[in-house]
Amino acid sequence: MSRKYNFCAGPAALPEAVLQQAQQEILDWHGAGMSIMEMSHRSEEFVAVATEAERDLRELLSISDDYAVLFLQGGASTQFASVPLNLMPAGGSADYVHTGQWSKKAIAEAKRYGDVNVVADAAASNYSTIPAFDSWSLNPNAAYLHYTPNETIGGVEFFWEPDVNVPLVADMSSTILSRPVDVNKFGVIYAGAQKNIGPAGLTIAIVRRDLLGRSQVGCPVMLDYKTAADNDSMYNTPPTYSIYLAGLVFKWLKGQGGLAAMEQINRRKASKLYDYIDNSGFYANPVELASRSLMNVPFTLADAALDKPFLAQAEAAGLMNLKGHRSVGGMRASIYNAVGEDAVDALLDFMREFARSNG
């Protein structure tokens, strides 16, 4: 067996050491004579696994007791509804920043539940920039401000947090755990697990406790943050195996030196890639310099007719899932935490060789 380099945007690569541990434990978890995924979610064993996963996540992100950490389902897409249902009073209004395709979806969903004020829209730059904060038309009475710190498809990332007087809500699906973040600046942070946390099926929400218990009248019990908070995320059966695997990833991250260490590695990986693309005269990345994502690096080739041979030869070289999102074309290398520097080096070697023989 040889593992390939996986640049998939999500579900994404997992650390090999985590997969090996899961493999070792799959038939007999810690001498229990069964897999952790075969146990009751209310068993002493599984509750300990979930509790430890939460503790490790709190440690990695320095999450204070002012926040509830919720293990949910439904993906980030369900959070697009949960956020307004929990935070927007009936007849209320919320502010949204439109920086790309995921914020667009969040906006469309929120409109079903209340009034949405789009404070800024990067359409003029074809979503390759982040509109300057002083140009945003903020509503001082907004229930919250929602933004997407990393647009996974466009490869546009915020390296600053909007400084607003209303609760700040962030879809961190593709940037969470890639570098330290000051959780105290946020009302709600949410993320689907399958980019940088673990396998699909788990969604994490970090909710400031004073925002619990404010849901709209029609909010489904399962989408009410208070339900999850009051029941330790076990109102119904949680995605137990995904929680277990996420817990292993958290331990792995701690072993790597935590998020400050991951940031150094991630910055090195990304800058190698962007530096080469910018200087290649063959590849190009459209995103403004200050907003280039550390996790998702889209790029185009000098001639789109070369896309197919590029992808075919990349796969033959063991470099998988480099095809860009269907809506934008070109290529995209997603270089999440579990994609090592060796993978980026292998990609760069391939890109240089391909440019040499086709340039």
Burial (CB count within 10 angstroms: exposed 0-12, middle 13-18, buried 19+), residue 146: buried
Rounded CA gap, 168 and 189, in Å?
8
Helix (H) or strand (E) segment spanning residue 299: strand 296-301
Residue nearest to ligand PLP (CB): 75
For residues 294 and 336, the answer to whether their CB atoms sit within 8 Å is: no
Find the binder of ligand PLP among 86, 174, 242, 321 (CB under 6 A).
174
Q: Does 82 bind ligand PLP (CB under 6 A)?
A: no
Q: Does 199 bind ligand PLP (CB under 6 A)?
A: no
What length is written for the chain? Answer: 359
Helix (H) or strand (E) segment spanning residue 341: helix 341-358
Region from 35-43, 44-52, 70-78, 278-286 binding ligand PLP, contact rule CB under 6 A: 70-78
Cβ-based nearer residue to ligand PLP, 10 or 155: 10
Q: Which of 29, 56, 104, 171 is catalytic?
A: 171
Q: Does 240 bind ligand PLP (CB under 6 A)?
A: no
Cβ-based nearer residue to ligand PLP, 8 or 50: 8
Query: Comparing C-alpha atoms, which of 159, 142, 141, 138 is closest to residue 150?
Result: 159
Q: Does 10 bind ligand PLP (CB under 6 A)?
A: yes
Q: Which of 29, 95, 195, 252 is catalytic?
A: 195
Is residue 254 part of the annotated active site? The answer reads: no
- Residue 340 burial (CB count, 10 A): 16
Q: What is the DSSP string of 206-236?
A: EEEGGGTT---TT--GGG-HHHHHHTTT-SS
**What is the DSSP secondary structure assignment for residue 279, as one 8-state letter?**
H
Region from 13-21, 168-176, 282-290, 307-315 binding ligand PLP, contact rule CB under 6 A: 168-176
* In the complex, minimum distance from the CB of residue 296 to ligand PLP, in angstroms, rounded to a whole number: 8
Is residue 171 part of the annotated active site? The answer reads: yes
* In the complex, minimum distance from the CB of residue 195 to ligand PLP, in angstroms, rounded to a whole number: 6
Is residue 307 part of the annotated active site? The answer reads: no
CA dihedral sign, ordered 119, 209, 74, 196: positive
For residues 289 and 265, the answer to whether their CB atoms sit within 8 Å is: no
Question: 299 to 328, contacts with ligand PLP by CB under 6 A?
Answer: none
Region from 69-77, 223-231, 235-243, 271-279 binding ligand PLP, contact rule CB under 6 A: 69-77
Cβ-based nearer residue to ligand PLP, 22 or 295: 295
**For tokens 């950490």, what's the residue?**
69
- Cis ω for the linkage preceding 298 (within 30 of 0): no
Find the binder of ligand PLP among 77, 117, 256, 313 (CB under 6 A).
77
Region from 88-96, 124-132, 170-178, 334-342 binding ligand PLP, contact rule CB under 6 A: 170-178
Rounded CA gap, 2 and 251, in Å?
24
Q: Does 75 bind ligand PLP (CB under 6 A)?
A: yes
* Torsion angle in degrees (nearest 10) through CA of 8, 337, 333, 272: -160
Query: Comparing C-alpha atoms, which of 338, 355, 18 is closest to residue 178?
Result: 338
Residues 177-196, one symbol each (x = binds ligand PLP by CB under 6 A, - = not), give ---------------x--x-
Find the binder of ligand PLP among 82, 86, 128, 148 (CB under 6 A).
148
- The encoded tokens of residue 148 equal 């997407």
Q: Does 201 bind ligand PLP (CB under 6 A)?
A: no
Region from 171-179, 248-256, 282-290, 350-358 binding ligand PLP, contact rule CB under 6 A: 171-179
Helix (H) or strand (E) segment spanning residue 39: none
Q: Does 337 bind ligand PLP (CB under 6 A)?
A: no
Binding site for ligand PLP (CB under 6 A): 10, 75-77, 102, 148, 152, 171, 173-174, 192, 195
Q: Which residues form the catalytic set?
A: 102, 171, 195
